């Protein structure tokens, strides 16, 4: 009898917790009935997203995955990746099965061309109607056949004001090639963003298909590498928050979060132009829980949910009604929601021709492996310096000894 009582009590507690979690959402645009159709069926989905890219319940925020599970009865297995290229390689290798992924615009275009995504059934995603008009039928998915926008933003330079001269206004990508900051510069650890910076700096299009322009950018990045402390993605949080680096190019949303935690950090938008991007939810080819995945995508488009995600991760929501739920200070932040003037000086990445992607892959490998060349050069230089130092010390000792002998005699 006692065991039965404990079991019933546990069931009651679980039910209460689920109701409390659900109570955090004041209103559901899609309606309760829509979200209840898989309840009690033991269904689960695998979600693959960027790191630090969803509201997870910390600091009294909305736990999006827990809310979805409590509302629908669908279990969410959630894992993260650091770059679009990592996501692409994982899916292309066929060693993993996911139901929802959130790649960036140009990668979505590549996956569409390679038949890696499932067409969406919008009868299962009624909240798509809440997406802002400027995000509908984008160039990377002209008919919105495969993707629903999740967040958008721009790139720029995050810097530590205690390590960069306060009177120095950062206006150009050139500062990432400034020798004064040797060993204090971080750089993107993905080829498209890294080459994009070199392309903006040179005045090239970030979608150039000219091999000679890409080669020029590679040489620029090799020159910069002598100054770079590390190539990073999510590691940037620890390094910039801890004052381990002075400068880093990164996404504006993450910069906002870091600036909130460390008031010494600031953000600059180079005059040569920056990348603007959209990350969107898609369903990989072969998903075994497509309808449940579409329900999850629809849930991400709930205005309250999208607003919670936007504020937590620092990126701009494409859901118009979500703006009503944003904190006023956040909604007016020009880093999160850049002015039209800034946006006019941005360029989005497009999918490149296959041969250019392969060339870019080889150039990126060449850049990262160029350590060996620097090491081959550095070893003889250090040996030579050591020999000179050793000779100098011996000469000094001889001279000093002679001076002492002259003094005594």
Dihedral (CA of 297, 301, 307, 313) sign: positive
CATH number for the domain formed by residue range(s) 153-276+366-371: 3.40.190.10
Strand 44-50 and strand 148-160: the pairing is unpaired
Which pLDDT score, from 0 to 100, does residue 386 have? 44
Strand 228-232 and strand 185-188: the pairing is parallel
Which pLDDT score, from 0 to 100, does residue 137 have? 97
Buried b (16+ CB within 10 A) or exposed e, 149-162: bbbbbbbbbbbbee
CATH number for the domain formed by residue range(s) 13-152+279-355: 3.40.190.10
Strand 274-281 and strand 346-347: the pairing is parallel
Q: What angle do CA 319, 324, 329 make, to 5 degrees?
A: 105
Element housing 397 (H / E): helix 371-408
* CA 48 – CA 97 distance, rounded (Å): 10
DSSP-assigned beta bridge partners for residue 223: none
The tens digit of pLDDT for each residue in 381-393 reads: 434 544 554 455 5
DSSP-assigned beta bridge partners for residue 76: 45
Low-confidence ranges of the chain (pLDDT < 70): 1-26, 30, 95, 166, 371-409
259, 265 contact by CB (below 8 A): yes
**Which residues, 6 or more positions from 160, have their beta carbon under 8 angstroms from its beta carbon?**
240, 243, 245, 246, 247, 264, 265
CA count, 13 A, side-chain hemisphere, 177: 15
- Measured from the Cβ of residue 347, the count of other Cβ atoms closer than 10 Å reads 15
The tens digit of pLDDT for each residue in 269-321 reads: 999 999 999 999 999 999 999 999 999 999 999 999 999 999 999 999 999 99
* CA 394 – CA 171 distance, rounded (Å): 50
Closest C-alpha among 45, 64, 236 to residue 159: 236
Which pLDDT score, from 0 to 100, does residue 326 have? 97
- Six-digit token pair at 278? 């959209």
DSSP label of 321: G
């Amino acid at each position: 009898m006692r065991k039965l009582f404990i079991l019933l009590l546990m069931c009651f507690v679980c039910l209460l917790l689920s109701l409390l979690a659900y109570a955090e959402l004041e209103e559901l645009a899609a309606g309760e009935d829509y979200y209840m159709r898989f309840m009690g069926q033991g269904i689960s989905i695998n979600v693959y997203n960027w790191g630090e890219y969803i509201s997870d319940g910390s600091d009294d925020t909305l736990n999006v995955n827990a809310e979805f599970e409590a509302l629908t009865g669908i279990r969410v297995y959630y894992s993260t990746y650091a770059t679009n290229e990592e996501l692409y390689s994982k899916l292309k290798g066929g060693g993993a099965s996911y139901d929802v992924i959130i790649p960036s615009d140009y990668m979505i275009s590549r996956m569409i061309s390679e038949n890696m995504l499932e067409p969406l059934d919008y009868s299962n995603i009624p909240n798509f109607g809440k997406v802002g008009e400027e995000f509908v039928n984008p160039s990377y998915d002209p008919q919105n056949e495969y993707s629903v926008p999740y967040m958008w933003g721009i790139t720029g330079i995050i810097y530590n004001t205690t390590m960069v001269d306060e009177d120095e206004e950062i206006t150009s990508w050139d500062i990432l090639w400034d020798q004064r900051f040797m060993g204090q510069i971080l750089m993107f650890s993905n080829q498209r963003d890294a080459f994009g910076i070199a392309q903006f700096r040179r005045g090239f299009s970030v979608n150039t298909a000219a091999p000679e322009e890409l080669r020029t950018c590679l040489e620029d990045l090799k020159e910069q590498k002598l100054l770079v402390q590390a190539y990073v993605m999510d590691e940037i949080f620890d390094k910039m928050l801890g004052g381990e680096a002075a400068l880093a190019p990164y996404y504006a949303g993450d910069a906002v979060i870091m600036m909130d935690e460390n008031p010494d950090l600031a953000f600059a938008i180079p005059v040569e132009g920056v990348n603007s991007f959209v990350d969107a939810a898609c369903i990989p080819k072969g998903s075994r829980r497509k309808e449940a995945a579409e329900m999850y995508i629809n849930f991400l488009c709930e205005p309250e949910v999208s607003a919670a995600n936007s504020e937590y991760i620092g990126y701009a929501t494409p859901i118009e009604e979500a703006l009503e739920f944003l904190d006023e200070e956040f909604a007016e932040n020009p880093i999160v929601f850049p002015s039209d003037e800034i946006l006019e000086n941005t360029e989005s990445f497009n999918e490149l021709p296959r041969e250019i992607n392969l060339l870019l892959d080889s150039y990126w490998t060449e850049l990262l492996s160029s350590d060996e060349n620097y090491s081959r050069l550095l070893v003889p230089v250090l040996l030579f310096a050591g020999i000179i130092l050793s000779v100098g010390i011996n000469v000094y000792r001889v001279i000093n000894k002679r001076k002492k002998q002259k003094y005594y005699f």
